[in-house]
Amino acid sequence: MRLKATATLATAVLALTFATAAHAQMSEAATHGKATFDSKCSICHSADTTDKKIGPGLKGLYTHSTLADGATKVTDETVTERIVNGKVPMPPFKDQLTPEQIKEVVEYLKTL
Ligand code: HEC
């Protein structure tokens, strides 16, 4: 009986440790960015594959040397510019998101 309680406690502590570790992987900014992405971007972009939806899947975006056009380098500046101004058929987000929200989305894209 005591052994079982100890085992249960150990499992709970272990689970808590993993939960905390998983959360620590994403910064607060990236966590906010994910929420924005899920509500504003995920209709057109997958986050977990490079397969095309309406726009290119953004998995591993920051591991690519260029954007899908094959010419524009992937940097905070070019990715931010794309979100701010869009690129037909992607709508611009400068009137929908604050600069802070766009920064957070960029932080999130870096985790993909
Ligand atoms: C209505 C659909 C739509 C929505 C909503 C949308 N996008 Fe896009 N996005 C696209 C399309 C289509 C492209 C490809 C444009 C092109 O290069 O011709 C694109 C391109 C991009 C690119 C460049 C990818 C690459 O490899 O070239 C990024 C980064 C991006 N979008 C981020 C976002 C983010 C972040 C949001 C949300 C704030 C968002 N998009 C919302 C359709 C959309």
Strand partners, 96: none
User: Whole-angstrom Cα distance, residue 21 to residue 53?
Assistant: 31
**How far from 100 is each of 22, 23, 39, 41, 107, CA to CA, in Å?**
24, 21, 16, 16, 11
Q: Mind listing the pLDDT tens digit for each residue in 2-37?
A: 666 656 556 555 555 555 555 557 999 999 999 999
Q: Any residues with Cβ below 6 Å from ligand 1, and which?
A: 40-41, 43-45, 54-56, 67-69, 79, 82-83, 87, 89-91, 93, 105
Per the model's pLDDT, the better-predicted residue between 104 and 24 turns out to be 104
Residue 33's domain comprises 28-109
Does residue 9 lie in a domain region?
no
Nearest CA to 58 among 79, 78, 28, 39? 79
Q: Which two tokens stand for residue 110?
A: 């870096």
CATH of the domain at 101: 1.10.760.10
pLDDT tens digit sequence for 36-75: 999 999 999 999 999 999 999 999 999 999 999 999 999 9
Q: Which of 44, 69, 96, 98 to mutate to test the pocket of ligand 1 (most atoms within 8 A of CB)?
A: 44
Closest ligand 1 atom, CA of 43?
A: 5
Report yes or no on 37 lying in a domain. yes
